[in-house]
C-alpha cells in the first residue's frame, strides 16, 4: 500500500483463534489491528500487549468503521456473522473468515455480494485449520481435473476413534474424557454427528469440482454408533475405523459428497492420521494422488491460515483495482448430486445371531438374494447367552440393496440384530 500506510484490520472474535491471530500479527509492520469486537468486554484476557481501548462489544463498530480495510470474522455460526460480513462488504471491506457453516450454507450469496462490490472473501482457515488446502486448489492445482477427495476433517472425532482403538474403550467413556480435556464441546453434536466435516467437505468439493454443492444433499453419519467391538473387528480384518469426508465426481459430472465412518486399510494414508490431526488426499489429472496432513484446529495452526489470508489481501491493496482474481468464486453451476442410496460401496456388517447350525449359510443366501457377494464372513465368538457375533465384508454393492438385506436379516428369526453397518474404503 502506498506511503507506507499501515493496513487496518478489524477483528471480530477474540477466542482461541482470534487470540492466536492477535499474538502473531504483531510481528508484521505493515498491518495493524485497530479494533476488536468481543461478546464480553469485562472478561479477563491473558494476552500480552492487548490495548483494552480497542475492544468493543458492538461488532457493527468494526464493519461500519470507514478506516478499516479488512474485517476478520472468527465468531462462527450464521447470525450475526452473515449480516456483519454482508455489511462490511457493502462498506467496501475485504473479508477473511474461518466460518465453515456460513460458507457451506450461504457461500453463494456471500460471494455474489462480494463480486458485486469488487471485494474478496478468503477462507483458508475454514477447512482443516492450519493445513493449506483452499489456496493450493485455487492456484497451483487449478490446472488439474480433481476427481476424488478423501479426508479426515474433524479432530474431535478422530481423537475419540483413536482413543477407542488404543484403549479398547467405549465411545461414551472416551467422549466424556475428550470433553474434560477440551477436545470436545459440552454439546458435541456438530462434531460427532458429522456436521462439521460436512460443511468442510462441501466447501472443498465445491472449489475442487467447480460446482455449487447443496449442503442439504450431503449425506451425514457420525461416530456415536461405533462400538469397541467394531474397532477390534476392523483391526483383525486389516482396517482402522475413521470418520471420512468423501467427495467424488464421475464421468457424467454427477457428484457424490458424504461424511460417514469407514473401514480404511491399514496400508492407506488415512489409517495413520491419529488423535486431533487432519489429512486430505486428492486425486486428479495430471497431478495424480497427493496428501496433506497436519493440525486441523488450534490457536496457532488456524491463526497461520487466517494470517496468510490477511497478508494475501494486504499485499495487493493499492496495487490493483481487482484483487486476487484466482481466489474469487467463479462457478455458477449447481452440482447434480448422487443420493446415498444410489452409491456403490463395500460394506462391513456386524451381525448378532443365534448360535445354531446353518446361520452363516442363511446370511449368505439373503445377501445373494439381494445381489450382494461376500468377500469374507467370520464368526467372532460365542457369547454367554449362546449368541454368535458374525462379521461380514461384502464385495461392491448398491446401498439400496444393502439396506434391503439388513431389513431381511433383521426379520429372520435366527438373527437377533444387525448391530453395525460401516462402509469400507475401496482403494488405498
* 394-419 pLDDT per residue, tens: 999 999 999 999 999 999 999 999 99
The average pLDDT across 371-397 equals: 89
Three-state secondary structure readout of the chain: CHHHCCEEEEEECCCHHHHHHHHHHCCCCCEEEEEEECCCCCCCCCCCCCCHHHEECCCHHHHCCCCCCEEEECCCCCCCHHHHHHHHHHCCCEEEECCHHHHHHHHHHHHHHHHHCCCCEECHHHCCCCCCCHHHHHCCCCCCEEEEEEEECCHHHHHHHHHHHHHCCCHHHHHHHHHHHCCCCCCCHHHHCCHHHHHHHHHHHHHHHCCECCHHHCEECCCCCCCHHHHHHHHHCCEEEEEEEEEEECCCCEEEEEEEEEEEECCCCHHHCCCCEEEEEEEEECCEEEEEEEECCCHHHHHHHHHHHHHHHHCCCCCCCCCCHHHCCCCCCECEECCHHHCEEEEEEEEEEECCCCHHHHHHHHHHHCCCCEEEEEEEEECCCCEEEEEEEECCEEHHHHHHHHHHHHHCCCEEEEEEEEEECCCC
The end-to-end CA distance of the chain, in Å, is: 47
* 253-269 pLDDT per residue, tens: 999 999 999 999 999 99
Active site residue 200: yes
Report the alpha-carbon distance of residue 207 to residue 374 in Å, rounded.
Answer: 37
The average pLDDT across 291-314 equals: 95
Check pLDDT > 50 for residue 1.
Answer: no
Query: Worst-scoring range by mean pLDDT, 14-18, 141-145, 360-364, 379-383?
Result: 379-383
Please state, for a pLDDT cut of 90, what percent of the chain lies above it. Answer: 88
Check pLDDT > 60 for residue 29.
Answer: yes
Domains annotated on the chain, with CATH: 2-127+299-327 (3.40.50.720), 134-294 (3.30.360.10), 341-424 (3.30.70.260)
Check pLDDT > 80 for residue 165.
Answer: yes
Q: What is the pLDDT of the chain when averaged over all its residues?
A: 94
C-alpha cell at 346: 463395500
Q: Kindly report the CA angle at 207 between 206 and 208, in degrees rounded to 5? A: 95
Residue 74 neighbours by CB under 8 Å, 6+ apart? 11, 12, 13, 14, 15, 17, 18, 21, 97, 98, 99, 306
Position 427 scores a pLDDT of: 74
Check pLDDT > 70 for residue 213.
Answer: yes
Position 332 scores a pLDDT of: 84
- From the candidates 200, 240, 242, 281, give the one annotated as an active-site residue: 200
Position 3 scores a pLDDT of: 53
* 221-238 pLDDT per residue, tens: 999 999 999 999 999 999
Amino acid at each position: 500500500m502506498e506511503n507506507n500506510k499501515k493496513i487496518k484490520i478489524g477483528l471480530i472474535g477474540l477466542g482461541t483463534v482470534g487470540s492466536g491471530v492477535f499474538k502473531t500479527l504483531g510481528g508484521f509492520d505493515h498491518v495493524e489491528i485497530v479494533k476488536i469486537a468481543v461478546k464480553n468486554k469485562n472478561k479477563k484476557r491473558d494476552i500480552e500487549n492487548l490495548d483494552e481501548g480497542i475492544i468493543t462489544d458492538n461488532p457493527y463498530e468494526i464493519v461500519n468503521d470507514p478506516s478499516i480495510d479488512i474485517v476478520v470474522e472468527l465468531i462462527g455460526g450464521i447470525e450475526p456473522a452473515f449480516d456483519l460480513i454482508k455489511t462490511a462488504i457493502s462498506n467496501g471491506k475485504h473479508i477473511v473468515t474461518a466460518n465453515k457453516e456460513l460458507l457451506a450454507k450461504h457461500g453463494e450469496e456471500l460471494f455474489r455480494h462480494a463480486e458485486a462490490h469488487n471485494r474478496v472473501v478468503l477462507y483458508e482457515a475454514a477447512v482443516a485449520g492450519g493445513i493449506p488446502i483452499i489456496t493450493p486448489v485455487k492456484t497451483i492445482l487449478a490446472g488439474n481435473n480433481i476427481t476424488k477427495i478423501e479426508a479426515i476433517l474433524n479432530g474431535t472425532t478422530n481423537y475419540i476413534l483413536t482413543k477407542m482403538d488404543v484403549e479398547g474403550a467405549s465411545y461414551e467413556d472416551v467422549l466424556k474424557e475428550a470433553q474434560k480435556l477440551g477436545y470436545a464441546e459440552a454439546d458435541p453434536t456438530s462434531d460427532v454427528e458429522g456436521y462439521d466435516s460436512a460443511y468442510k467437505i462441501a466447501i472443498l468439493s465445491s472449489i475442487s469440482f467447480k460446482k455449487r454443492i447443496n449442503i442439504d444433499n450431503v449425506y451425514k453419519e457420525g461416530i456415536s454408533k461405533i462400538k469397541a467391538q467394531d474397532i477390534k473387528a476392523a483391526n483383525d480384518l486389516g482396517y482402522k475405523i475413521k470418520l471420512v469426508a468423501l467427495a467424488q465426481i464421475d464421468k457424467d459430472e454427477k457428484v457424490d459428497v458424504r461424511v460417514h465412518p469407514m473401514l480404511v486399510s491399514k496400508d492407506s494414508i488415512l489409517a495413520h492420521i491419529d488423535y486431533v490431526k487432519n489429512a486430505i488426499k486428492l486425486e486428479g489429472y495430471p497431478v495424480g494422488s497427493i496428501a496433506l496432513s497436519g493440525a486441523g484446529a488450534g490457536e496457532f495452526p488456524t491463526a497461520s491460515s487466517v494470517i496468510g489470508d490477511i497478508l494475501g489481501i494486504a499485499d495487493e491493496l493499492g496495487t490493483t483495482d481487482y484483487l486476487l482474481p484466482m481466489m474469487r468464486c467463479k462457478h455458477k453451476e449447481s452440482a447434480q448430486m448422487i443420493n446415498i442410496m444410489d452409491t456403490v460401496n463395500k460394506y462391513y456388517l456386524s451381525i448378532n445371531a443365534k448360535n445354531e447350525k446353518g446361520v452363516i449359510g442363511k446370511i449368505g443366501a439373503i445377501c445373494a438374494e439381494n445381489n450382494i457377494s461376500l468377500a469374507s464372513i467370520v464368526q467372532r465368538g460365542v457369547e454367554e447367552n449362546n449368541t454368535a457375533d458374525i462379521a461380514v465384508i461384502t464385495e461392491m454393492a448398491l446401498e439400496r440393496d444393502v439396506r434391503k438385506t439388513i431389513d431381511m436379516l433383521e426379520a429372520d428369526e435366527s438373527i437377533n440384530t444387525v448391530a453395525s453397518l460401516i462402509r469400507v474404503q475401496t482403494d488405498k
